[in-house]
Structure 1
Amino acid sequence: MARWEPNARERLVRAAIDLFAEQGYDATTVNEIAERAGGLTKTTFFRHFSDKREVLYAGQELHGRIVSDAIGGAPDSATPLQMVASAVDELAAVFTEDRREMAGKLRKVIAESAELQERAAFKRAALVGAMTAALRERRVPELVAELAAELGTRAFYGAFGRWAVAEDPRTLVEHARQAFGELRAAMSELE
């Protein structure tokens, strides 16, 4: 593959995840990632990512915009949980079937690295923050917004974990709806 071909960012992400899964995060170099991505250079890598850790979190800003836009576009009659459920659906829809195998690899790579687990926690907190801010824009009280955002994020990540390793044909959206339903049922057991 020539260096000038399109989708360099996506190719770098896929190459990094494959290499991290094969030889470990710490053992993989930026040069190896760039080469695996079709003969790209280290310079090209650094045009897209600040370091090799960040390649695993590509799209984080996009995810925040997706949930914010979904919450902002929810009907006025929607409850905070309905707004968040809609946002989780929109975010889950981004993860198409062709990304499932990569998602499974990504989860394993993160589970094997304390550094990546820390970064994953930051990403999760950013998603909660994006949902909370969008709910606050809709004049949802702070505590309600925070709780709804935490539940939505928990539903998304629970669903993502199932979907990444699942052998059933359900989409991430379907897994997310199931996870959200389970959380709602669990909440009813709290009192």
Structure 2
Amino acid sequence: MGRWEPGARERLVVAAVDLFTEQGYDATTVAQIAERAGVTKSTFFRYFPDKRELLVAGQETLSRLLAEGIAEAPAAASPLQAVAVGLERVSGAMGPLNRELAPRLKAAVAASTELRARDALKSVSLAAAMATALVARGVPESTAAIAGELGVLAFRRGFAAWSEGDRADGDELAHHTLAALDELRAASASLG
């Protein structure tokens, strides 16, 4: 396969997840990932600075989509209503490949301390993006921080339900993330 074949980024992600699942993160090299994806090592480095970054591919896009959705929420929207608009926006960017890779990716992350740490940083970054967007709407910082954290938790819970659920149900990711946000809203109200 030529190095300029379309879809190189996606093939690299799929190859990495497959290899991490088969032989573990630590035992997998960039050369193996590139070979499995049918690209050169230099093509790998055009897309990713290292193999760890493969598993957070698209993080900046997720942060941007969440922030854009929050910014575009109606002016009268509460902080969690604005987060819901952000979750809808980011959910629309997730497709069948995300759903297919999710269980293997989850296993790869669970098996590696380094990947668990990187995954935790991703959550912090997503929460910060939502909090910053909420503060820009005039939401007080502490409220924005809590809403951002609830947004990340809702996204994670919704994504897990979507990726592990029955694929024949036809539910979109947004259905699951918004349901998770509603559950979290109710749970937080019961804290008193």
d(CA) in 1 for partners of 2:151, 2:158: 10
Match of 1:31 in 2: 31
Q: TM-score, normalised by structure 1?
A: 0.95
Q: Identity of counterpart residues, as a percentage?
A: 50
Q: Compute the displacement of 1:97 (Å).
A: 2.8
Greater CA drift, 142-151 or 7-16: 7-16
Give the 5 Å matches for 1:1-191. 1-38=1-38, 40-168=39-167, 169=169, 170-191=171-192
Stretch deviating more after TM superposition (113-122 or 23-32): 23-32
1:56, 1:97 → 2: CA distance? 16
Is the contact made by 1:110 and 1:117 (CA closer than 8 Å) also made in structure 2? yes
| Structure 1 gap segments, 5+ residues each | none
Letter in 1 for 2:114: E
Give secondary structure in 1 for the equivalent of 2:98: helix
Give, as a single letter, the amino acid of the residue that structure 1 aligns with 2:144.
A
Task: Give per-residue Cα distances to partners, 1:46-80, cap 9 Å, x unaligned.
Answer: 11111100011110111111011111111111111
CA contact (8 A) 1:74 1:83 kept: yes
* C-alpha contact 1:71 1:135 (8 A) present in aligned 2: yes
Deviations 1:126-163 (A, max 9, x none): 00000011011111110110111111111001111222
Between 113-122 and 24-33, report the one with greater CA deviation. Answer: 24-33
Query: Is this contact kept in 2: 1:96–1:171, CA < 8 A?
Result: no
Please tell me the residue identity of whatever aligns with 1:22: E
The alignment's C-alpha RMSD in Å is 1.1
Q: TM-score normalised to the size of structure 2?
A: 0.95
Q: How many residues are matched?
A: 190
Question: What's the secondary structure of 1:75's corresponding residue?
Answer: coil
Contact 1:155 1:176 in 2 (8 A): yes
Alignment partners' CA distance in 2, 1:99 and 1:129: 23
Counterpart CA distance in 1 for 2:95 and 2:47 is 23
- 3-state SS of 2:162 partner: helix
Asked if the contact 1:97–1:171 (Cα under 8 Å) also holds between the matched residues in 2, the reply is: no
Q: CA deviation at 1:188?
A: 2.1
